[in-house]
Amino acid sequence: MKRKKLPFILSLATVFLLSGTETSGAKEHPCLILTKSGVEEAQRILGKAPLFDSTLEEIRAEIDGVVSLPIEVPFPKDAGGGYTHERHKKNYMQMYHAGILYQIYKDKKYALFIEKMLKEYAGLYPSLPLHPVQKSKYRGKLFWQGLNECVWLVHASQAYDCVYDFLSAQDRKYIEENLFYPMVEFISEDNHETFNKIHNHGTWAVAGVGMIGYVMNDNDMVQRALLGSDKKGDTGFLRQMDMLFSPDGYFTEGPYYQRYSLQPFIVFGQAIQNNEPERDIFAYRDSILTKAVNTSLQLAYTDGQFFHLNDALDKTWHSIELVYGVDIAYSVTKDAGLLAIAEEQGRVVLGDAGLSVAKALQDNQKQPYLLKTSLIRDGSEGNEGGIGVLRIGDRKDQTCVVFKATAQGMGHGHFDKLSISFYDNGKEILQDYGAARFLNIEPKNGGHYLPENDTWAKQTIAHNTLVVDESSNYGGKLEVAEKYAPTITKFTDRDNYKLVAATESNAYPGVTMSRTVVLVKLKEIGNPIVIDYFTASSETEHQYDLPFYFMGQLMHTDFQYQAFSEFREPLGKDNGYQHIWKEAMGKSEKSSASMTFLNGNRFYTITTLTTPDTELFLNRIGANDPDFNLRNEPAFMLRERTKNKIFLSVIEPHGEFNPREEYTAQPYSAIQNIGLSPDKNSIQITTVNQEKIMVAIR
């Protein structure tokens, strides 16, 4: 499968290249996210759109507390989480907020605060060497990572825009020559590789450069941001819009980074729209920007928590990036479901888009936001696998299984082909571990990714998917992994029956893996259940391991095991196995095995087909972790040594544990056993009431 052939998309960018208009003449300020007409509108309806008012009040309280304090622009020294890092982050946020306040209230104290701070930065910046912390390959000057420098510029350009007319021509000249031009040079020339990269680092870079370009009315700078350093369009923002999202609006690094990368896309998109409306940027590539916002929301569970795919940490759609995303998407599409999310977010963008959201909410235009069963394709052409999200139930009690059969997802991707995660009853039940990182916590490796992110979190065994011969997909090699993607073979979305299937034959040479996941609600069984049909076929014998990282306390198993109660050893030596404690090991004497655990107030049983050779493990994360970087959470794992193997399992939520009312209902599974039909097209489930149910799995 080749990934680089994109003639159609190239031609789209070319059209834009030709139609790119010259910006010229005097410019109105502000002109980026907040515009002059937006300011007038905001002043007109002040006090009449509560969410806008409360967001504004919040930043006014913050800024009024600091405008009269001494400005601190420290010489850069610390990594993420350290003092100078946090100070420079605070500074750009405060300037950004002060700019909005100045525009709306026209109180000079806010403008003077920004003037003073920008001058301090202008005094410091020209003399700055590269940041002394050398942990990142992409170093900044103010920050240890060039990425943060671009984020600084995205915010500072908006602050500068807001006080542009306030500043004297002489001050503007001083600030532009000593701060913005050198910073743009640093970002776009010294680091031209990143600037021209089709990567979210590149997006932040072009957004910063393009936005300050609009403010300074420097058309050449804007052109380079839109079309790349050489202005030919094979890099730059438009090309990123072509390449970084699939046709379904999926960003290949996964939801956590999709959220992060969304901000420069949507913010710069809004700035382009306001400065060059003739580009109609929000219509570009079949409205890819607003599509990406919606896809981002669809990659979350009912509480707004994004699925923990790839290098993910806990983030919800309440995060600031999605505030930008939802507000700007609403202002473009007027999709009333987005208002429900905006209301939950509890704040709006203090710009034209946020105003439109706050007004619409005040006018009671909100509709429920629907989380849907969907297949979201990966790859810029949509042919590099995808994510299947199967859901039954509304946001109050939804059963949801996430099936990840995407491309690798660049540097933040995990070796997790065909893995699943499972949510129910408002909680994560079968977890994807996500990243091993404590973001911004200095004592934990400077807040950066931990070594265990590579040795554990990225490895195949850290996921709810098949591991062959204790090794990771593609030998754990990124450059190999990037060549391939699984193939989605089926997707069905009917009432009470949802199915997604995919196959992958490159992750392990000589082994073809296929997985079909069905989410089905049966009248004989109360809650929706997941049917998980995983096959591995090979001409040679292999060790096949299939773990389920369940969240909760083990209640019961219907098989005997030997518990390693008095000493404990790791499960293996390498590829993540060294981080797993082997807690118990057993076999089933029947043709199936089941284990039940409790999570919150609901029970879950995994019932799986077994043979006399199937080994059943109870494991726990945490071995070889001398710095206590990992979460010590459990797993149930199936193992068998053979050529061709079918793992057939059912994951069943059941019963209720109610400690407040002190009752417990159905703590045991409703399923007595399971079997595969001879043609392998269906599963037969026998309930404890001796009902027999056939469910198609193909």
44: buried, middle or exposed (CB in 10 Å: 19+, 13-18, 0-12)? exposed
Using only the alpha carbons of the chain, give its radius of gyration: 27
According to DSSP, residue 70 is labeled P
Tell the smallest beta-carbon distance from residue 320 to its own copies (Å).
8
Tell the smallest beta-carbon distance from residue 92 to its own copies (Å).
12
HSE-up of 158 (CA within 13 Å, CB side)? 30
- Which CB sits closer to its own copies, 182 or 572? 572
686 contacts 694 by C-beta, under 8 angstroms: no
Strand partners, 640: 544
Q: Cis peptide leading into 528, omega within 30 of 0?
A: no
- Which CB sits closer to its own copies, 556 or 698? 556
Among 412, 448, 542, 654, the active-site one is 412
- Which CB sits closer to its own copies, 141 or 620? 620
Structure tokens at 401: 């299984």
- Which CB sits closer to its own copies, 316 or 333? 316
- Which CB sits closer to its own copies, 283 or 313? 313
299 contacts 253 by C-beta, under 8 angstroms: no
Comparing CA positions, the residue from 275, 268, 280 lying closest to residue 240 is: 268
Tell the smallest beta-carbon distance from residue 141 to its own copies (Å).
20
Among 160, 164, 250, 257, the active-site one is 257
According to DSSP, residue 222 is labeled H
Tell the smallest beta-carbon distance from residue 635 to its own copies (Å).
12
Tell the smallest beta-carbon distance from residue 677 to its own copies (Å).
31
- Which CB sits closer to its own copies, 393 or 667? 667
Tell the smallest beta-carbon distance from residue 340 to its own copies (Å).
19
Tell the smallest beta-carbon distance from residue 404 to its own copies (Å).
23
Tell the smallest beta-carbon distance from residue 492 to its own copies (Å).
35
- Which CB sits closer to its own copies, 370 or 665? 665
Tell the smallest beta-carbon distance from residue 151 to its own copies (Å).
10
State how far the Cα of 135 lies from the Cα of 566, in Å rounded to an integer.
41
State how far the Cα of 472 lies from the Cα of 462, in Å rounded to an integer.
10
Residue position matching structure tokens 């500074």: 91
- Which CB sits closer to its own copies, 255 or 386? 255
Query: Which strand (E) or helix (H) includes residue 646?
Result: strand 645-654
Comparing CA positions, the residue from 617, 566, 563 lying closest to residue 588 is: 617
DSSP state letters, 523-557: TTSSS-EEEEEEEEEESS-EEEEEEE-B-SEEEEE
Phi, psi at residue 675, to the nearest 5°?
Answer: -155, 160
Residue position matching structure tokens 């037969």: 684
Query: Which strand (E) or helix (H) includes residue 392?
Result: strand 385-392
321 C-beta neighbours (distance < 10 Å), count: 21
Comparing CA positions, the residue from 75, 132, 66, 146 lying closest to residue 98 is: 66
State how far the Cα of 180 lies from the Cα of 133, in Å rounded to an integer.
23
Tell the smallest beta-carbon distance from residue 669 to its own copies (Å).
11
Comparing CA positions, the residue from 123, 208, 202, 203 lying closest to residue 160 is: 208
- Which CB sits closer to its own copies, 370 or 441? 441
Q: CA distances (Å), 615 to each of 81, 229, 543, 646, in order?
A: 45, 57, 11, 14
646 C-beta neighbours (distance < 10 Å), count: 15
DSSP state letters, 149-168: HHHHHHHHHHHHHHHTTTS-
According to DSSP, residue 312 is labeled -
**In one letter, which amino acid is 384?**
E
- Which CB sits closer to its own copies, 25 or 659? 659
Active site residue 412: yes
Tell the smallest beta-carbon distance from residue 633 to its own copies (Å).
9
Phi/psi region, residue 314 (left: phi>0; alpha: psi -120 to 50; beta: rest), is beta
What does the binding site for its own copies look like in residue numbers (CB under 8 A)?
81, 86, 89-90, 313-316, 318-320, 438-444, 447, 553-556, 563, 565-570, 581, 583-584, 596, 598, 618, 620, 623-628, 631-632, 657, 659-665, 667-668
- Which CB sits closer to its own copies, 429 or 520? 429
Residues 114-149 as b/e (b if ≥16 CB within 10 A, e otherwise) read: bbebbbebbebbeebeebebeebebbbbbbbbbbbb
> Strand, coil or helix: what is 23?
coil
Cβ neighbours of residue 158 closer than 8 Å, sequence gap 6 or more: 30, 32, 33, 34, 96, 99, 211
Residue position matching structure tokens 């970087």: 629
Q: Catalytic positions, please?
A: 257, 412
